[in-house]
Amino acid sequence: MIKFYSTNLKTAPVPFEEALLKGLAPDKGLFMPETIPVISSRDISAFSDMEYHEIAWDVSRRFLRGQIDNDVLAKITRSAYNYDVPLEHVFENKHVLRLDQGPTASFKDFAARMMARLMQHYLTVEHRKLLILTATSGDTGSAIANAYYGLDHINVVVLFPLDEVSSRQRKQMTTLGKNVRIIGLDAKFDDCQALVKEAFTDPDLDYLGLSSANSINIGRLIPQIVYYFYSFAQLRKGNSDDSVIFSVPSGNFGDMMGGMLARRMGLPIDKFIIACNENDEFPKFLNTGNYAKIDPSINCLSSAMNVGHPSNLSRLVALYGGVMDETGHVSKQPDMEQMRRDIFGVSVTDAETKAMIAEAWAKHELLLEPHGSVGWAGLCRYIEEVGNDPDQLYISLETAHPAKFPEQIQAILGFDPALPPSLEGLEVKEEQYDKLDSSYAAFKSYLQTNYE
Ligand SMILES: *Cc1c(COP(=O)(O)O)cnc(C)c1O
């Protein structure tokens, strides 16, 4: 049975269920698997003929052996992955993996839907309840609210800043109902975050069983391994590709960590391109070996990647034998040489992001939104520096649907991208949300009144 250790190394390893329901380790570190299961190349070849949810089952069961029944897990992956995972051929052997067909049209659906169902399973077995409390500046809140929507044993409260969330983003949360409550605050995102943090440390609210379901949960990391295997297996079908290069637009580094784990599990990833926006603390770290976070983070077009200190970086450092705590302090340097052999780090400016949206459309009729454009620009930069190999398999990840960014696409390309089915009809659905002032007292009494 694989246990999960904390990257801060100050707590004993715990079973998956505990890591999942806790989220953060008691020493504030992130949970990592003690051993990484290896998938043989024969098994990877078999993935070519499997559906996405079957591969999701096969990859996760190797981490969860002895901790969940195989058929329960199969039900979970089947219900979590009931949407398409398209691969778009661009030119030569270069492709874009579109992770934007889930209910909120962002790649966060992949992780959130699986985590939600795993939590529901363990809570049902234990007759426990949980209240997920999360603050959002846009995408995370809707992915979480949608993932937990309608599940048993779990309620969800999402706080958002009234002025900082687009109306489309807001409607993705406020048109749900059932076990999901949404609160708009006349405040900034940081104020919303502060209220959530205070609630977590308030003993009067212990009875609620609060959990954050945030991006560092191990239950979100494991599902993010799957699409790397899936895309390789799909594209290799009938070909002899023996390696792949991925480019990943990165913010908090959860997506990229999924890929790094896939590599350790045996997926032949030749190089990993980590593409950041102007928040370039990682590419600098990779080059110099010195880590300095960017505080406050820089506001870029690819807003979900405006992260001045990626929380999952401590997991990457752990994978390379180092120790980085939650503040970014490195107490043991990872193997930088090996990291540089495996990873190409690149920072893409907003000007380049816009130019790449225009270029990709003009040259290849490839429609990208700002996050995917950073990924594609990273791939182009790599090819420029290292040289192009027309036969090499390259896959760049698109993490959101272009229709989520109508203003930017309109300004650059002169048209409005068509809505994916998941976002259709949102405009006419009835919204329901509460408004509160930003005092903690008001928020606390809201929680106590609505959840007795
Ligand atoms: C969250 C997000 C990212 C960044 O993913 P990380 O796992 O935080 O690196 C990139 N693109 C979009 C659209 C996102 O929502």
> pLDDT tens digits, the chain, 452 residues: what are they?
999 999 999 999 999 999 999 888 989 899 999 999 999 999 999 999 999 999 999 999 999 999 999 999 999 999 999 999 999 999 999 999 999 999 999 999 999 999 999 999 999 999 999 999 998 877 788 999 999 999 999 999 999 999 888 888 899 999 999 999 999 999 888 889 889 989 988 999 999 988 877 778 999 999 999 999 999 999 998 777 789 999 999 999 999 999 999 999 999 999 999 999 999 999 999 999 999 999 988 999 999 899 999 989 999 999 999 999 989 999 999 999 999 999 999 999 999 999 999 999 999 999 999 999 999 999 999 999 999 999 999 999 999 999 999 999 999 999 999 999 888 888 889 999 999 998 999 999 999 999 98
The strand pair at 393-398 and 87-91 is best described as unpaired
C-beta of 352 in contact with ligand 1 (< 6 A): no
- Of ligand 1's atoms, which has the minimum distance to the CA of residue 108? 15
DSSP conformation letters of 377-436: HHHHHHHHHH---TTSEEEEEE-B-GGG-HHHHHHHHSSPPPPPGGGTTGGGSPP--EEE
CA atoms within 13 A on the CB side of 77: 22
Q: From the CA of 304, how far away is ligand 1's center (Å)?
A: 5
How far apart are the C-alpha atoms of 172 and 233, rounded to whole Å? Answer: 33
How far apart are the C-alpha atoms of 141 and 112, rounded to whole Å? Answer: 10
How far apart are the C-alpha atoms of 75 and 121, rounded to whole Å? Answer: 11
Q: From the CA of 114, how far away is ligand 1's center (Å)?
A: 17
Token pair for residue 103? Answer: 């209910």
- Of ligand 1's atoms, which has the minimum distance to the CA of residue 372? 11
Task: Write the CB contacts of 33 (distance below 8 Å, at least 6 apart in sequence).
Answer: 2, 3, 4, 63, 218, 261
CA angle 12, 32, 225 (to 5 degrees): 160
Residue nearest to atom 2 of ligand 1 (CA): 304
What is the pTM assigned to this prediction? 0.95
Token pair for residue 141? Answer: 């809140």
- Please report the pLDDT score of residue 212 as a whole number: 78
Residues making up the chain, counted from first to last: 452
Q: How many helices (H) and strands (E) does the chain have?
A: 18, 15
- Please report the pLDDT score of residue 421 as a whole number: 86
Are the C-beta atoms of residues 165 and 156 closer than 8 Å to each other?
A: no
Are the C-beta atoms of residues 256 and 217 closer than 8 Å to each other?
A: no
Are the C-beta atoms of residues 399 and 107 closer than 8 Å to each other?
A: yes
Q: From the CA of 16, how far away is ligand 1's center (Å)?
A: 24
Helix, strand or coil for residue 131?
A: strand
Q: From the CA of 125, how far away is ligand 1's center (Å)?
A: 32
Looking at domain 83-106+224-413, its CATH class is alpha beta
CA atoms within 13 A on the CB side of 432: 9
Give me Rg for the CA atoms of the chain: 21
Token pair for residue 201? Answer: 């440390």
Are the C-beta atoms of residues 270 and 245 closer than 8 Å to each other?
A: yes
Identify which of 305, 311, 408 to mutate to test ligand 1's pocket (most ligand atoms within 8 A of the CB).
Answer: 305
Report DSSP state, residue 437.
Answer: -
How far apart are the C-alpha atoms of 62 and 447, rounded to whole Å? Answer: 39
- Of ligand 1's atoms, which has the minimum distance to the CA of residue 404? 13
Q: How many CB atoms lie within 10 A of CB 159?
A: 26
C-beta of 371 in contact with ligand 1 (< 6 A): yes
- Please report the pLDDT score of residue 427 as a whole number: 85
Domain ranges (residues) in the chain: 83-106+224-413
- Please report the pLDDT score of residue 78 as a whole number: 98
- Of ligand 1's atoms, which has the minimum distance to the CA of residue 400? 13
Question: CB burial class (10 A; 0-12, 13-18, 19+) of residue 404?
Answer: buried
C-beta of 251 in contact with ligand 1 (< 6 A): yes
C-beta of 369 in contact with ligand 1 (< 6 A): no
Token pair for residue 157? Answer: 């409260």
Task: Write the CB contacts of 44 (distance below 8 Å, at least 6 apart in sequence).
Answer: 229, 232, 233, 266, 267
C-beta of 396 in contact with ligand 1 (< 6 A): no
Identify which of 252, 282, 316 to mutate to test ligand 1's pocket (most ligand atoms within 8 A of the CB).
Answer: 252
C-beta of 258 in contact with ligand 1 (< 6 A): no
How far apart are the C-alpha atoms of 2 and 15, rounded to whole Å? Answer: 7
